[in-house]
């Protein structure tokens, strides 16, 4: 059963619920108003939420060892 994320438009409460694919929806446990299912990609939901997307993967760490000049053959610095 997939886990869906819901956002309540009334109180902005976000919660998750295990539901079948055919489930109609869920009510907010906070204010008991019908909540909107959030699609897993939050392209449209940028309302004051903190972005948890990493800005980048960052540079790859240098490979140590492996091949020539990895320190094992003495030709490196």
| Nearest residue (CB) to Zn ion, 9 versus 72 | 9
| Nearest residue (CB) to Zn ion, 11 versus 23 | 11
Using rule CB under 5 A, residue 26 touches Zn ion: no
- Residues constituting the chain: 77
Candidate list 18, 23, 31, 68; residue touching Zn ion; CB under 5 A: 31
Neighbours of 19 (CB within 10 A): 16
| Nearest residue (CB) to Zn ion, 27 versus 42 | 27
Distance between CA 69 and CA 75 in Å, rounded? Answer: 5
Task: Give least dist CB 18 to Zn ion, A.
Answer: 19
The sign of the torsion formed by the CA atoms of 59, 60, 63, 69 equals negative
Question: Of 28, 31, 26, whose CA–CA distance to 4 is shortest?
Answer: 26
Residues near Zn ion, by CB under 5 A = 8, 10-11, 13, 28, 30-31
């Amino acid at each position: 059963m997939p886990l869906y994320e819901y956002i309540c438009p009334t109180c902005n409460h976000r919660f998750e619920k295990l539901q079948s694919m055919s489930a109609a929806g869920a009510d907010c446990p906070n204010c008991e108003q019908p909540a909107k299912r959030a699609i897993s990609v939050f392209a449209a939901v940028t309302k004051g939420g903190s972005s948890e997307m990493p800005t980048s993967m960052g540079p790859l760490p240098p490979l140590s060892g492996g091949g020539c000049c990895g320190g094992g053959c003495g030709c490196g610095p």
